[in-house]
């Protein structure tokens, strides 16, 4: 046991059994927050004990956060240092190298890869880290060194735009941890399409790798179809559809820079003549297309998280229902509608129900063809439902 570490303890009412079975978080109402524990600096590595003083593992402590402690290792004799980080990164890399033949993927998916709160996306020679937990912020220099050593990347960027950092009391300052910022967006090949990822000015880390298998499935339905991709970002579903022979694709997004990257991606694919964009609010644009009597063989709606947490669940489900109601009339008879949610608070059943209500209110009848989730570079930690956030429903109307 590591005697040099501070000790934090569960309350008698805490669910120690869940922690022993792999749940990675200790909520603030489950931890004894006495003066000593409250005085710990956010991110301090501590020894966690149950209420009977039995050691449970090493945790990163953030006394002021709702998630007051995150399990790092159940071996209380280990040291959370560069060597430990290197071992976790090597384990994560071994999976991705088995799954993908090119180094473009999510390398670390937080708790699922044993690095709580840490997201790392890889774009060839560049890696983007989101350290969304205080323990990782404190160890960021060691994490960057370990990452460079394991992967050999020449550039490491820190992205601080996640909502989770504010909950941990962390700042929103981005940084260059290694090398130089890429001078231009990075071209990423996926599903036969060319995407351009802006790693410093784009959303999140620059590209959403999680939708890769869902974009591939939707593209199977796209040959010979007209396609509408709403909340398209840099053309995720639209460009994959064009790569599989869609006759045309219209990308809708509120971000002009994202649509410009999508347009450039289409041009690099030789599909500029089949690609168009429309900038604006997605709800307003869907309503306008309905008034215009526009119809498409394949419609995809991949919005941001409408229900990022439980307090927003009901409003979020209403928004998903409204999206489905607006999108369904735009689908040709025997056409296809893909509806997505990245809200972990909305489980699959609730999300499916909202979508079916919206489709029904639009006067359409649906067959559910496929239910998709995030790709295998976003592994699910079975004990943590939040790690399985992404859902994609493919309907035939």
- Supply the residues annotated as catalytic: 342
d(CA 84, CA 142): 10
d(CA 230, CA 233): 8
d(CA 303, CA 210): 14
Nearest alpha carbon to residue 43 among 176, 171, 146, 170: 170
d(CA 327, CA 330): 5
d(CA 54, CA 51): 7
- Residue reference for tokens 């960057």: 144
Which helix (DSSP H) or strand (DSSP E) does residue 14 occupy? none
Tell me whether residue 283 is exposed, middle or buried, using C-beta atoms within 10 angstroms of its C-beta: 0 to 12, 13 to 18, 19 or more.
middle
* The two structure tokens encoding residue 345: 């608070």
Neighbours of 333 (CB within 10 A): 9
**Can you give 189-220 as a three-state secondary structure string?**
EECCEEEEECCCCCCCCCCCHHHHHHHHHHHH
Q: DSSP secondary structure string, 246-293?
A: -SEEEEEES-HHHHHHHHHHHHHTT-GGGEEEEES-HHHHHHHHHHTT
Residues found in the chain:
397
Q: DSSP secondary structure string, 303-354?
A: ---S-SSGGGHHHHHHHHHHHHHHHGGGEEEEEEEEEEE--TTS-HHHHHHH
- Are 174 and 161 a contacting pair, CB within 8 Å? yes
* The two structure tokens encoding residue 56: 């449970």
Kindly report the CA angle at 116 between 37 and 6, in degrees rounded to 5?
A: 25
Strand, helix or coil for residue 283: helix
């Amino acid at each position: 046991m590591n005697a040099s570490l501070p000790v934090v303890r569960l309350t008698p009412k805490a669910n120690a059994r869940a922690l022993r079975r792999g749940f990675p978080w200790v909520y603030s109402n489950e931890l004894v927050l006495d003066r000593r524990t409250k005085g710990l600096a956010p991110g301090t590595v501590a020894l966690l004990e149950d209420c009977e003083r039995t050691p449970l593992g090493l945790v990163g402590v953030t006394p002021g956060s709702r998630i007051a402690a995150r399990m790092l290792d159940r071996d209380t004799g280990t040291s959370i240092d560069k060597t430990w980080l290197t071992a976790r990164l090597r384990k994560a890399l071994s999976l991705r190298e088995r799954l993908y033949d090119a180094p473009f993927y999510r390398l670390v998916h937080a708790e699922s890869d044993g690095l709580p709160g840490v997201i790392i996306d890889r774009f060839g020679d560049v890696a983007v880290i989101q350290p969304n937990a205080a323990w990782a912020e404190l160890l960021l220099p060691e994490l960057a060194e370990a990452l460079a050593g394991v992967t050999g990347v020449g550039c490491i960027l820190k992205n601080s735009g996640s909502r989770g950092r504010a909950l941990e009391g962390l700042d929103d300052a981005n940084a260059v941890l290694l090398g130089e910022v890429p001078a231009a967006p990075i071209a990423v090949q996926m599903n036969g399409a060319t995407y351009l990822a802006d790693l410093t000015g784009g959303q999140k880390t620059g590209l959403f790798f999680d939708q890769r298998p869902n974009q591939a499935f939707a593209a199977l339905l796209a040959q010979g179809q007209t396609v509408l991709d709403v909340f398209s970002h840099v053309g995720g579903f639209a460009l994959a559809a064009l790569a599989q022979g869609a006759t045309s694709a219209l990308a809708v997004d509120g971000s002009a820079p994202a649509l410009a990257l999508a347009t450039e991606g289409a041009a690099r694919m030789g599909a500029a003549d089949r690609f168009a964009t429309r900038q604006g609010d997605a709800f307003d644009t869907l309503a306008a297309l309905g008034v215009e009597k526009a119809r498409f063989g394949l419609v995809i709606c991949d919005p941001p998280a409408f229900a990022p947490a439980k307090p927003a669940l009901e409003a979020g489900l209403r928004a998903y229902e409204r999206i489905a109601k607006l999108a369904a009339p735009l689908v040709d008879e025997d056409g296809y509608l893909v509806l997505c949610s990245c809200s972990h608070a909305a489980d699959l059943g609730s999300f499916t129900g909202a979508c079916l209500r919206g489709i029904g209110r639009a006067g359409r009848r649906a067959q559910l063809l496929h239910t998709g989730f995030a790709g295998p570079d976003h592994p699910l930690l079975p004990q943590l439902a939040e790690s399985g956030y992404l859902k994609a429903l493919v309907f035939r109307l």
